[in-house]
Amino acid sequence: MIYDFSKLTSSLDQLLLSVLPPFWVLLVEALLVLIAGLAAFAVLGMILVYMERKVCAFFQVRLGPNRVGKWGTLQLIADMLKLLTKELVTPRGVDVLLYNVAPFIIIMAAFLSFGALPFARGLHAIDFNIGVFYLMAVSSLAVLGILLGGWASNNKYTVIGAMRSGAQVVSYELSVGLTYITMVAFAGTMQLSGIVEAQADGWFLFKGHLPALIAFVVFLIASTAEANRGPFDLAEAESELIAGYHTEYSGLRFAFFYLAEYLNMFIGAAIAATLFLGGWMPLHIGSWEAFNAVMDFIPPIVWFFGKTFLLVWVTMWFKWTFPRLRIDQLLTLEWKYLMPVSFFNLLLMTVIILLGWHF
């Protein structure tokens, strides 16, 4: 590979070790990762909100934000400043502790998932040998913030939204987990960097035949539902529940809920890109050496974000194309269709692996 960020990170580590004791080196590196992660959160949040508005406008045949700044780009800055300076209103009768803790739980769940994503070779906060299991564990924490926020707000609409979200996320986590297991079985490892490396000679979406394609489609649907995105946004259905579980939140606390939704959408798309589309791995085609060499010149981080934002666009396309499901339809889709299909697909993938019918 032409681009290898592990050399840069190793040299930085050696430089810090030459001037600081090991404990302080660990502390400084942790702070650098935290600052980089928070900066990435802020930038990605603004990009995704702007992208959502423009995609929505495209599907509704209108312009979207176009007044504040060139092409409406500064509208995001204006909205961010408004949220940061808005008064934090605490309604009467709320459980103050849980009401204030809930937004931090949901944003921390997104941050913990974000840290495990491999953006390029050597460019990830942490590379667990059980990375897929770690993602399954920390991503499931977000529902706790939703349930606590909805219940602690002392509002019937927030409670209904929280209950819907709890049922929805717990249900669709089963299909997400089964697709994880399917692709882990095919890759032979739970380490995310290892899964990407295994796709050097072909992305799993193409190498894994029909089971990989089925797992990809199921994952896109289930991860969209798990992130409470339309047409599965029953937990915050404005026509029924005002704003759902975060109705009683304002200012920075509301911004945490709002930002977490977009970041969870990005994380779901990034995981799909990693498991099925090679992550940061460039597109290689068999013995086309000249083509493969040209693809290698494109930086891996460009490949990663290109694939991820393509899947983000598909997720937004879902929301602005399909009507919102009823809660019974949403749960029927998971329990009667997606989960049985995922179980059968796992069995089919196992047979293909044992018989060696994959590329």
Summarised one tens digit per residue, pLDDT across range 209-253 is: 889 999 999 999 999 988 888 788 877 766 666 767 778 888 888
Q: Cβ distance 158 to 194 under 8 Å?
A: no
Find the mean pLDDT for residues 9-24: 83
Please provide the average confidence, as pLDDT, over all residues in the chain.
86
Question: Measuring CA to CA, which residue among 116, 109, 114 is closest to residue 133?
Answer: 116
Find the mean pLDDT for residues 74-80: 84
Q: How far, in Å, CA of 17 to CA of 5, rounded?
A: 18
Question: Measuring CA to CA, which residue among 330, 285, 345 is closest to residue 164?
Answer: 330
Q: How far, in Å, CA of 21 to CA of 256, rounded?
A: 36
Which pTM was predicted? Answer: 0.90
pLDDT reported for residue 60: 87
Reduced 3-state DSSP string for 316-347: HHHHCCCCCCCHHHHHHHHHHHHHHHHHHHHH
pLDDT reported for residue 358: 65
Q: How far, in Å, CA of 223 to CA of 216, rounded?
A: 10
pLDDT reported for residue 239: 64
Find the mean pLDDT for residues 280-294: 81
* Residue 349 in tokens: 């993938």
pLDDT reported for residue 338: 93
Phi and psi, residue 25, nearest 5°: -60, -45
* Residue 113 in tokens: 């998932």
Find the mean pLDDT for residues 25-46: 86
Position 42 confidence tier, pLDDT thresholds 50, 70, 90: confident
Q: How far, in Å, CA of 282 to CA of 301, rounded?
A: 10
